Amino acid sequence: MGTDAPILCGAARRCITPPPEWLPQLRGLQDVTFTQVLDDLYLRVLALRAGADTVLVVTFDCDKVPCPQAYLDAITAETGIPSEHISLLAIHTHTAPIGGWRPNEGPNFILRKPAEVQAATHRYEAFLQARLLEAVREALERLRPARLGWGSGESCVNVSRVQDYYVTRPDGSAAVQCGLGRDFSVPVDRRLFVLKAEGLDGSPIAFLTNYAVHNCVMIRNRCGRDGGTLLSSDLGGNVSQMLEAACPGAVALWTSGAAGDVNPLLSNEIFYPDPATGTQTQYILPAGDTAPLMMLKTLSAQHYADTLRVIRGISCSLERGSVRGGVAWAETPGRDSGTYQVRLHLTGIGPLWMAGVSGELYTSLGQALLEKLPPEAIVQNHDGSLLAESGYIYDDAILARDRSGVLPGRHDSLQRPGYIREALLDAAEGLLTKLM
């Protein structure tokens, strides 16, 4: 239970772009190498205090937070803030250095990389922790009386990425195969949520945006020197930087909603049905093609305009309230043996609830969680994802459709069909009972 008290707010950010001399030894998702930086990476901290309770919301321009347990322990040791009051969220950009322990992620597992890459990765992980603690200190030092408000609108820059392919077999018969693509007929969550914090003088302190989309416009791009990959914070990170440029001194956090099955409208990686056979075909734009840069510019500008439209309608009126947080584990039987776990993290800010999950929820599961939560709530993917081997959190309908196991993450998933929806809802209900 939280105590009704005046709300204090502070925010800070730190650049986490690796120094140029580190870049050649670091690796991105699918083991890509970076040659140049398109736009900087940041971590951002939002601190909220009411009475004796403080919550921290931290976003990293990374695909996943590399060492969440070590980072949580370090923050708690320095500040005394309990770990269940700290959200460590990754925006899930696909064009940033990766780190952390990922035994079920194929080429992303650190022990499968050369010694010099392992050393550089550990150095970057330590660099992130140092930057994190700096930003947390600054956000807490800048705490001041604040008013909060939030609102929602729509942004149409996303699309379902699960597509059925109608394949012609060699004997002329037909088959349906599930795969990656774009299915405009499937409804996706286009709700764009924005939280605004301002000082009592009306000056903006921070924004927190939530939207369901993969940050993968620039995935596996070859726009850099000699066909290398450009490092980028992608769609979400670019929108944050645009908002911060428009509101000097404010910090703009961006978080991903339930986007396990949702892609941006445009991407460097394209899937389509082969005209002759109907099978899923992948195309990655060739080295030197600048189309991904235009894709990123176009989608970021539209998403930013949509964000501004929501912000213009927000009235900040919440000056008193409570802040609180709690963690529960949704446990189900594992695919072959053992258990499959998803960490559910609830953060309450007055009447607003943020539900963070340790993986990539599919749309229907995110909607089910929202139906279980109070009316003013959002769902956030990648809250301390590497605290559990949750991976993609599929719904049963998708698992039934993907009979060949070709969707991302299926090969290494520990999830067994038939259990996770009820386990998540039970965990949410238990946490709400404890925190309300």
Distance CA 385, CA 399 (A): 21
pLDDT of the residue at 404:
87
Instruction: Reduce the DSSP state of residue 343 to 3 states and report it.
Output: strand
What number of CA atoms fall less than 13 Å from residue 354's CA on the CB side?
A: 33
CA distance 190 to 115: 43
Between CA 24 and CA 328 the distance in angstroms is 39
Tokens 């070709």 map to which residue? 406
What pLDDT, on a 0 to 100 scale, did the predictor assign at position 181?
A: 97
Query: Residue 100, class by beta-carbon neighbours within 10 Å (0-12 exposed, 13-18 middle, 19+ buried)?
Result: buried
Q: What is the per-residue pLDDT for 172?
A: 86
Show Cβ contacts of residue 319 under 8 Å, excluding neighbours closer than 6 positions: 6, 7, 145, 146, 147, 148, 200
Residue 59 CA to residue 42 CA, distance in Å, equals 8
Phi–psi pair at 136, nearest 5 degrees? -60, -45
Residue 2 is predicted with a pLDDT of 57
Region of 378 (left: φ > 0; alpha: ψ -120 to 50; beta: rest) is beta
171 half-sphere exposure, CB direction, 13 A CA radius: 2
Helix (H, G, I), strand (E, B) or coil at 365: helix
pLDDT tens for the chain, 436 residues: list them.
557 899 999 999 999 999 999 999 999 999 999 999 999 999 999 999 999 999 999 999 999 999 999 999 999 999 999 999 999 999 999 999 999 999 989 889 999 999 999 999 999 999 999 999 999 999 999 999 999 999 999 999 999 999 999 999 888 898 999 999 999 999 999 999 999 999 999 999 999 999 999 999 999 999 999 899 999 999 999 999 999 999 999 999 999 999 999 999 999 999 999 999 999 999 999 999 999 999 999 999 999 999 999 999 999 999 999 999 999 999 999 999 899 999 999 999 999 999 999 999 999 999 999 999 999 999 999 999 999 999 999 999 999 999 889 999 998 899 999 999 999 999 999 999 999 8
* Residues 77/71, Cβ–Cβ less than 8 Å: no
Secondary element (H or E) of residue 429: helix 420-435
Nearest Cα to 324, choosing from 21, 38, 56? 56
Q: Give the pLDDT score at 397.
A: 95
Cβ atoms of 160 and 188 within 8 Å: the answer is yes
| Cα–Cα distance, 151 to 167 (Å, whole number) | 44
**How far from 402 is each of 175, 178, 356, 391, CA to CA, in Å?**
13, 5, 26, 16
pLDDT computed for residue 416 by the predictor? 95
CA–CA separation, 219 vs 234, rounded Å?
Answer: 9
The DSSP output letter for 336 is S
3-state secondary structure 184-241: CCCCCCCEEEEEEEEECCCCEEEEEEEECCCECCCCCCCCCHHHCEEECCHHHHHHHH
pLDDT at res. 436: 87
Compute CA 335 distance to the chain's CA centroid, rounded to the nearest angstrom.
Answer: 25
The Cα 42–Cα 232 span in angstroms is 10
Nearest CA among 173, 169, 366 for reference residue 262: 366
Return the exposure string of 49-63: e unless at least 16 CB atoms fall within 10 Å of the residue's CB, then b.
bbbebbbbbbbbbbb
Whole-angstrom distance, CA of residue 402 vs CA of residue 115? 37
| pTM exceeds cut of 0.95 | yes
Model confidence over 73-119: pLDDT tens digits? 999 999 999 999 999 999 999 999 999 999 989 889 999 999 999 99
First-last CA distance in the chain: 6
pLDDT computed for residue 104 by the predictor = 87
Q: Answer yes or no: are the C-beta atoms of 239 and 300 closer than 8 Å.
A: yes
The tokens for 325 are 């947080």
Type of residue at 304 = Y
pLDDT in tens, 138-161: 999 999 999 999 999 999 999 999
**Residue 273: strand, helix, or coil:** strand
Label the pairing between strands 53-60 and 339-349. Answer: unpaired
Q: Residues 424, 369: contact at Cβ < 8 Å? A: yes
